[in-house]
Amino acid sequence: MVFSSLVFLFLFLPIVLVFYYLSGSKFKNYILLIASLFFYAWGEPKYIFLMIGSILVNYIFGIKVSSDKKNERKVWLIISIILNIGILIIFKYTDFFLININSLFKINLVLPKIALPLGISFFTFQTMSYVIDVYRHDGKVQRNVFDLALYVSLFPQLVAGPIVRYQTVDEQIDRRTHSMDKFAVGVNRFVVGLAKKVIFSNQLGLIADGVFSASIVDLSTLEAWMGIICYTLQIYFDFSGYSDMAIGLGKMFGFDFLENFDYPYISQSVSEFWRRWHISLGSWFRDYVYIPLGGNRVSLLKQYRNLFIVWSLTGIWHGANWTFMAWGLYYGVLIAIEKAFLGKLLSKSPRIFRHMYLVLIVMIGWVFFRAENIIQATEFIKVLSGINQNPLCNSAFLNYANDSGGIVILAIILSTPIISKIKKLIKLKNQKIVESNIIYFMHSTLIMSLMFIIVIMLINSTYNPFLYFRF
C-alpha cells in the first residue's frame, strides 16, 4: 500500500483516524500499532514476521545494553550491530555477492533470489539507532515492547523514511499533543507531499523512464539532457513528497518528525547539498559511523579514510548494484576534493557559478543512480557530453519538450524556495491580510483543488511508483 493510492486515501487512512480519535489515550498507541502492522502486511505479508522478529530481538538488546556492567553492555552492542547488519546483508545483498563471485571465479553458484523486504534498510537503521542511543544514554530504554514496536513500525515513515531516530520520538510515544491546528498543519503538509508525488514526480518519471529505456544509439544529446533533468526533478519530488506526507501524517497522529529535505538543489557545494538532501540518512551516518571513526578530530589522512568509508556505505545502502557504489564513491571523492582545496576556490567564485557547478555535479551523479549498470551510465554520460556520434536533437526530444516542457519548467521553479519566500514577504508586509478569512478561504480552496486534481489523476493513471521503496 502506498500513500498515493485510492485505497490508502479513502479507506485505510479514514478508518485508522476514526478509530484513533474515538479511542481513549491508553489505546491510541495500540490502534496505531495494529494499523502499522496491517499497513506493512498489506504489501509484504510474509515479511511481517521478519520485522516483528527484528523488533523483539532489539527489544532484548536494548535492555541488555542498558545494564550497569560496561563490558557486558559493549558486548551486547556489538552483537546487536552484527545481527542487524547481518539481516540487511542476507536479504539485500546475497544475490549481489553470489553474482560477483560467479563472475570473478567463473563458477555457477545457485542464486537464492531472496525478495527484498519492503523498507528493510529504513527499519533496520531505526532498530540500530535505538540500541546505540540506549547504549550511549542518548535515549531511555523502552521496557514496553509494544511501544518499541510502534516506534519501528509506525506506518507514516515505515517503508521510505525519514529515518526517525529513537531519541527524537521516545517521549512522544508516551506523551504527545493533539490539536485541531496541528491536525490541520498535518493535512496541509500531506496534501502538498501528495501533489509533489502525483502531479510532478509521476509525470516527470514517464519522461525519465522513456529516455533511460531507449537504446543509447537512438538518443540525441538534448533528449539525454531532458531525461536526466526529468529524473533529477522526479527523484526530488518523489522522495521529498513522501517525506512531506510522512511528516504530515505524523502530525495528524500527534508526532513531530524532523525535516528530511531543505531545497537541496539551491546548494552551492556538494557538502551543502548533502546537508539538505535526505537529512535523516546523512545525520545517521555522521553520528553513528563518521564521528565514532574519529570524524574531523583525527589526522587529515584519516579524515579522508572516514569519508571513503561513509560514502562507500552510503552508496551500497541504496542498493545491491555497482552503480550505487560508484555513486557513493563519486560523492566521497568530490567532498574530499572540496575539503582539500575546491571549497576555498568555490567560496571565491560568483554565486551563479557555484550553483551551476553543483547542479551539473548532481545530475551526473543521478546518471549512475538511475542506470541499470556501469556501462549504461558511462555511455549515457558520453551522450550528454556529445562525445558519441549521437545527433544533437531528434523528434523524441521535440515531442517531450512540446508535451511536457511546461511541467518541467514549473517543477524547476517549485524545487526552489521561491514560493515560501513570497509567502514570507507577504506575511511581513501584510500581517492583517494574511490572517484574514479571505486568505484562509483561498488556502482551503487551493488544498481542496489540489486534492481533486490528485484524485482525478490517480483514477486515470496506472503509473504510481515510489522510487525509494526499493531501498
Q: Which residues are catalytic?
A: 318
Non-local (6+) Cβ contacts of 262 within 8 A are 275, 276, 279
Q: What does the block give as the cell for 38?
A: 496491517
Cα–Cα distance between 70 and 368 in angstroms, integer?
A: 44
- Provide CB contacts within 8 A for 189, sequence distance 6+: 244, 245, 247, 248, 251
CB-based contacts of 92: which residues, under 8 Å, 6+ apart?
Answer: 116, 120, 121, 320
In the chain, what is the greatest distance between 2 CA atoms, to the nearest angstrom?
74
Bond before 162 cis per omega within 30 degrees: yes
On whether the CB atoms of residues 259 and 279 are closer than 8 A, the answer is yes
Is there a contact between 390 and 217 (Cβ–Cβ < 8 Å)? yes
Q: Are 82 and 150 in contact (CB under 8 A)?
A: no
Distance, C-alpha 19 to centroid of its chain: 29
Dihedral (CA of 213, 215, 220, 221) sign: positive
| Integer Cα distance of 102 and 311 in angstroms | 26
38 phi, psi to nearest 5 deg: -65, -40
Q: Identify whether the C-beta of residue 55 lies closer than 8 Å to the C-beta of residue 124.
A: no
The span from the CA of 169 to the CA of 151, in Å, is 8
SS3 call for 67 = coil
Whole-angstrom distance between the N-terminal and C-terminal Cα of the chain? 16
Distance of CA 344 to the CA centre of its chain: 30
